[in-house]
Amino acid sequence: MEEKKKIPHTCPVCNGNGKVANGFYNQTSGQWLTTDATPEMCQSCLGTGIVWGEVTMHDLKEIDSQLEDRVKATRNSGA
């Protein structure tokens, strides 16, 4: 069995902000149940903006390879 590592990811619920619109967790059928504009803490990441996911070492090597390719492409484009 391949070893798994935990790595951080940007929270997909709050897009890494740690906050969601007030009433986000209370909505039903697309209707907001609040008029308060104050954002509330994201319950998925507990307000950190980060969630942790497990990946295998094979996945990590593939991610590293993709990042290397992106860096090379950026350098070659002069950006």
pTM over 0.85: no
- What's the confidence (pLDDT) of residue 30? 62
- What's the confidence (pLDDT) of residue 10? 93
Higher pLDDT: 12 or 72? It is 12
Predicted confidence (pLDDT) per residue in 14-60, tens digit: 999 999 988 777 766 666 566 667 899 999 999 999 999 888 888 77
- What's the confidence (pLDDT) of residue 35? 61
Which DSSP string do the residues of 27-53 spell out, in sequence order? -BTTB--------EE-TTTTTSSEEEE
- Pairing mode, if any, of strands 40-41 and 50-56? unpaired
| CA–CA separation, 75 and 79 (whole Å) | 6
